[in-house]
Chains A and B, each alone.
Chain A
Amino acid sequence: MNSAALFGVAWSALKQNAMRSLLTMLGVIIGVSAVITSMAIGTGARAAVAEQLQRLGSNLVVVVPGSITSNGVRLGLGAQQSLKLDDATAIARSVPEIAAVAPQANTNAQVVAGNQNWYTSVVGSLPSWPAVASWSIAQGRFFDAGDVAAMAKVAVLGNTVATNLFPEGSAVGHTVIVKNVPFRVVGVLASKGQSGFGRDQDDQVVVPITALMMRLTGQTWISSIAISAQSPDAVDSVVSSTQALLRLRHHLTVQSPDDFSVRNIANIQQAASETSRIQSLLLAAVAAVSLIVGGIGIMNIMLVSVTERTREIGIRMAVGAKERHILLQFLVEAMTLACIGGVIGVALGIGSSYLTSHLAGWQVIVSPSSIAISFIFSALIGILFGFYPAQRAAHLNPIEALRHE
């Protein structure tokens, strides 16, 4: 009995119960499309993070409050108030091989201009900020050292904020109200667009860090310090000098751990890819579970099918079908079921990946390997879960099978 005949027999059996076959495939369809979608989103996110970090440049070193314990579990990272503006000043003054230092303090606020208003994030920093964070100015100017010293009420708008508050024309020269404080707009940033996670990077307002801390929030701590080293080779020494300096400034004894953490792009990249790897693993586990559930569904329906068709099996045996003919017949049927489910699942997964990309604005990448993996997986599921029912069919006693009603 050749394979064409085998598939013919399997296909006609599945066609006779089209609705039931489709419902049975559902588990595999959902499992496979979950695999495809989750892998597409994971791969896309990883690529986006890598691209974004690459764009920031390999010279970047970032200091954030809080510490990382030795085994990598983050404890209160960013939640502490240990970083001060003076720390940034000290780093700029005494750490060698530094190109620029940009401390940053953040808040969120409703920003009002005339009858327009916009809820956005407000960043306080220094004139070095555009250089360190790779921003350029589209209109007007960035604030200068004098503005910082004077706690000047001047603001530079991100492109999104500018277009929403001033839909008619240029924002430069106008006044915006932030938390009841009027700020004069001196410039507008050039647009960068969305980050890989769909966050709009242009949705922010930048003001002198002194103005933010004294006039808007009253806070005494800052949220991060971005340092740009003179060259990629200088990064390691900048990291260690910064660490030593801050330990000294924070009066940390030998026993006490850092109350801040200094990281370079490589660290951040690692952390980000670690996070997305864990997410991918979780999604893969969910997908695997649903594939197994799909497999159990197939096994269940195949067992029903073997019982229903016991007499058919008896007839086939009477005219000369061997055990392996019956085994193959049901195995091919289960595999066909799983593979058709796999194909539908792949199509659905690709569709939902692009839908996700379209709706959430995430970058997705459907890799050929994810398609291959999930297809092979569904075929394996078919064989694995089809085997027991097929075995049962093949081992039926011909006389009892023929007598079956």
Chain B
Amino acid sequence: MDASGGHDLVIQTRDLTKIYRMGEVEVAALNGVSVEIARGEFLSIMGHSGSGKSTFMNLIGCLDRPTSGIYLLEGRDVSRLSSDQLAEVRNRSIGFVFQGFNLLPKQTALQNVELPLLYAGAAPEERRRRAQEALRAVGLESRLAHRPREMSGGQQQRVAIARAFVSEPALILADEPTGNLDTKSSDEVMEIFRELNRTHGITIVVVTHESDVAAKTQRTIVFRDGRIVETAA
């Protein structure tokens, strides 16, 4: 398999399976998922609680390895990489946005956004410049020195988004990014995603329970019991 099959695929999985073993019992959190996501897609994932959405996101986010199956990220098989190699892939190609923001509480917005660049080995001045740019892009140029505690939930999530795209990844994965936000902040966040998707061509996958959030994306995948049951445009 490679990515040169006519259309440019960012994500391509075949029979992706994740089995958790709890004592004697085996739980198939993901049960043979095959999916293709093209570069530049803006996609949402829905499904009941426990249907395997987060498990899927962790696998395609290279935070975890599948029990079996194949995962190609930008045409490269990453399903059997070492943990350090996965870290490098996450650093270069993937940005995460979480429901609970997951910012470092004692660092400023700027420092939080600089974090991926720090591990990429960027020089201090470059880190600062690019982090400032990213924060400006999410409308937080006046909050550079604020710590997470000194910001609203919506602002914190925008800092997290700035952190996710500061290293110009191919892919942003957002697991229920609007779950902790009110409607207004939620709309702002989705608007930023749409903007990033349109102007930077970043592929964005958003997990959500809200159909109006899913409606803002181009395509929706629905999970049930670790399988994809529906794909709607």
A residues at B contact (CB < 8 Å) = 1-2, 5, 12, 16, 311-312, 314-325, 398-399, 402
Contacts and interface: CB of A to CB of B under 8 A. Distances in A.
Contact of A5 (B90, B118, B167): B118
B35 interface: no
B137 interface: no
A323 B84 CA distance: 7
A16 B106 contact: yes
B58 A316 contact: no
9 contacts: A1-B118, A2-B121, A311-B102, A314-B102, A317-B63, A318-B90, A320-B91, A320-B119, A398-B63
Contact of B98 (A2, A312, A402): A402
Contact of B84 (A12, A312, A318, A322): A322
Contact of A399 (B64, B103, B104): B64
Contacts of A2: 121
A400 to B, nearest CB: 10
Contact of A318 (B102, B106, B124): B102
Given A12-B106, A315-B102, A315-B104, A321 B58 contact: no
A319 B83 contact: no
B92 A320 contact: yes
| Residues of B in contact with A, size category | 20 to 34
A21 to B, nearest CB: 15
Contact of A322 (B88, B102, B103): B88
Given A323-B84, A402-B98, A316 B63 contact: no
Interface in B153-176: 163, 167
Interface string B55-98: 00010010110000000000000000001100110111000101
Nearest to B84: A322
B115 interface: yes
A343 to B, nearest CB: 25
Residue of A12, A320, A398, A399 with most chain B CB atoms under a 10 A cut-off: A320
Nearest to B89: A320
Residue of A5, A314, A315, A316 with most chain B CB atoms under a 10 A cut-off: A315
Contacts of A317: 63, 87, 90
Nearest to B121: A1
Contacts of B116: 319-320
A322 B63 contact: no
B229 interface: no
B64 A321 contact: no
B145 interface: no
B106 A320 contact: no
A385 to B, nearest CB: 25
- Main SS class of interface, A: helix
B63 A399 contact: yes
Contacts of B167: 320
Contacts of B63: 317-318, 398-399, 402
B84 A319 contact: no
B19 interface: no
Nearest to A402: B102
B83 A323 contact: yes
A320 B104 contact: no
B96 A318 contact: yes
Nearest to A13: B106
Nearest to A15: B106
A2 B96 CA distance: 24
Nearest to B90: A320
A12 B111 CA distance: 12
A316 B119 contact: yes
B215 interface: no
Given A2-B121, A320-B120, A323-B87, 18 more contacts: A1-B118, A1-B119, A1-B121, A5-B124, A312-B104, A315-B102, A318-B61, A318-B63, A318-B90, A319-B90, A319-B116, A319-B163, A320-B90, A320-B119, A320-B167, A322-B87, A322-B88, A323-B84
Interface in B114-136: 115-116, 118-121, 124
Residue of A2, A318, A323 with most chain B CB atoms under a 10 A cut-off: A318
B53 to A, nearest CB: 14
Contact of B88 (A16, A315, A320, A398): A320
A129 B139 CA distance: 96
Contacts of A324: 84
A18 to B, nearest CB: 13
A325 B119 contact: yes
B165 to A, nearest CB: 12
Contacts of B61: 318
Given A16-B106, A399-B63, A402-B98, A316 B84 contact: no
Interface string B9-51: 0000000000000000000000000000000000000000000
B152 to A, nearest CB: 20
A9 to B, nearest CB: 9
A115 B87 CA distance: 90
A312 B103 CA distance: 8
A277 to B, nearest CB: 50
